[in-house]
């Protein structure tokens, strides 16, 4: 795949006091849409790094994180779930941050196997419903409504109203964006439906009333900012429509995923001799 298109560069975005979204994205110039690959830094009394990005972006990821917090000061590395776009720099970050404790859970360690290369004495296992004291605030682990790994827990900071939804509230972007206000608003809502159904096809199977209670749980936090790995920043007046779009995801009509005929066309375009 060609990477001749220069990658749009976003410096970290301050989303709340001492709270920053660290940007990356995938697909620009090579796919019809881009997908954000964000992570977060909370400069609490005990600083927290939330998710660790893609291995392919390691150099920029580490530079961005360490532009916000010194390696020795990182106290917590919080992993929302064990997918490669959230764990790509986990081992590297933990080896560069000697004072950090890794917040995972039992099933993450089971699923990651030997790819988790951090000694057990540096782990902490925490589940949905648990709280993490980081010195000047207590963070709440809250499972988001949409997820593609059974290990998923979001993270809510009641002092700023920032909720990290992991793979929830995600949408593709026509072009890389910092904030959902930059997206065509109909594309954004449709993109939340589509992304949710692609990462969580089981949404079609759920009892809708029970699903709505999972969104109620997030709404009850009264989040001021919704962030996650795969969405530009959602804040202010954009929070309510994002929650509504999440509520609609199980029953919305979404486009089919590209199939073999699309791959045939891609292969033919790349190889004119075929
Ligand atoms: Fe995931
Ligand atoms: Fe993800």
Q: Is 177 helix (H, G, I), strand (E, B) or coil?
A: coil
The answer for 174, left when phi > 0, alpha when psi is -120 to 50, beta otherwise, is alpha
Which pLDDT value is given to residue 238? Answer: 98
Q: Are 84 and 54 in contact (CB under 8 A)?
A: yes
Which pLDDT value is given to residue 185? Answer: 97
Q: What percent of the chain has pLDDT over 90?
A: 94
Band (pLDDT 50/70/90 cuts) for residue 274 is: low
Query: How far away, in angstroms, is 78 Cα from ligand 1 center?
Result: 15
Per the confidence metrics, is the pTM higher than 0.85?
Answer: yes
Query: How far away, in angstroms, is 143 Cα from ligand 2 center?
Result: 14
Query: How far away, in angstroms, is 38 Cα from ligand 2 center?
Result: 9
Ligand of minimum distance to the alpha carbon of 199:
1
The DSSP-derived string for 71-90 is GGG--EEE-S---HHHHTTH
Query: How far away, in angstroms, is 82 Cα from ligand 2 center?
Result: 9
Compute the average pLDDT of residues 207-228: 98
pLDDT digits (tens, 9 = 90+) for 11-24: 999 999 999 999 99
pLDDT digits (tens, 9 = 90+) for 60-75: 999 999 999 999 999 9
Report d(CA 218, CA 227) in Å as an integer.
Answer: 12
Dihedral in degrees, nearest 10, Cα atoms 114, 117, 122, 123? -40
Query: How far away, in angstroms, is 11 Cα from ligand 2 center?
Result: 20
Report d(CA 129, CA 122) in Å as an integer.
Answer: 21
């Amino acid at each position: 795949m060609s990477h001749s298109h220069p990658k749009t560069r976003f410096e970290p975005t301050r989303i709340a006091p001492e709270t920053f979204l660290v940007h990356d994205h995938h697909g620009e110039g090579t796919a019809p849409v881009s997908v954000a690959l964000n992570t977060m830094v909370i400069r609490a009394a005990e600083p927290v790094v939330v998710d660790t990005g893609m291995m392919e972006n390691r150099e920029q990821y580490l530079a961005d994180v360490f532009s916000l917090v010194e390696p020795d000061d990182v106290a917590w590395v919080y992993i929302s779930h064990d997918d490669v776009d959230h764990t790509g720099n986990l081992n590297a970050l933990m080896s560069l941050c000697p004072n950090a404790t890794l917040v995972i859970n039992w099933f993450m360690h089971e699923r990651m196997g030997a790819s988790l290369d951090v000694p057990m004495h540096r782990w902490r296992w925490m589940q949905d419903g648990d709280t993490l004291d980081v010195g000047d605030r207590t963070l709440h682990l809250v499972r988001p409504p949409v997820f593609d790994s059974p290990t998923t827990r979001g993270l809510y900071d009641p002092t700023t109203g920032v909720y990290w939804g992991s793979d929830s509230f995600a949408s593709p972007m026509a072009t890389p964006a910092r904030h959902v206000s930059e997206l065509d608003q109909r594309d954004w809502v449709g993109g939340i439906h589509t992304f949710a159904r692609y990462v969580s096809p089981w949404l079609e199977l759920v009892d809708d009333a029970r699903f709505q209670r999972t969104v109620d749980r997030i709404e009850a936090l009264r989040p001021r900012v919704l962030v996650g790995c795969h969405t530009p920043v959602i804040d202010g007046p954009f929070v309510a429509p994002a929650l509504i779009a999440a509520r609609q995801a199980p029953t919305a009509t979404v486009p089919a995923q590209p199939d073999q005929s699309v791959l045939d066309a891609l292969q033919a375009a790349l190889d004119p001799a075929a």
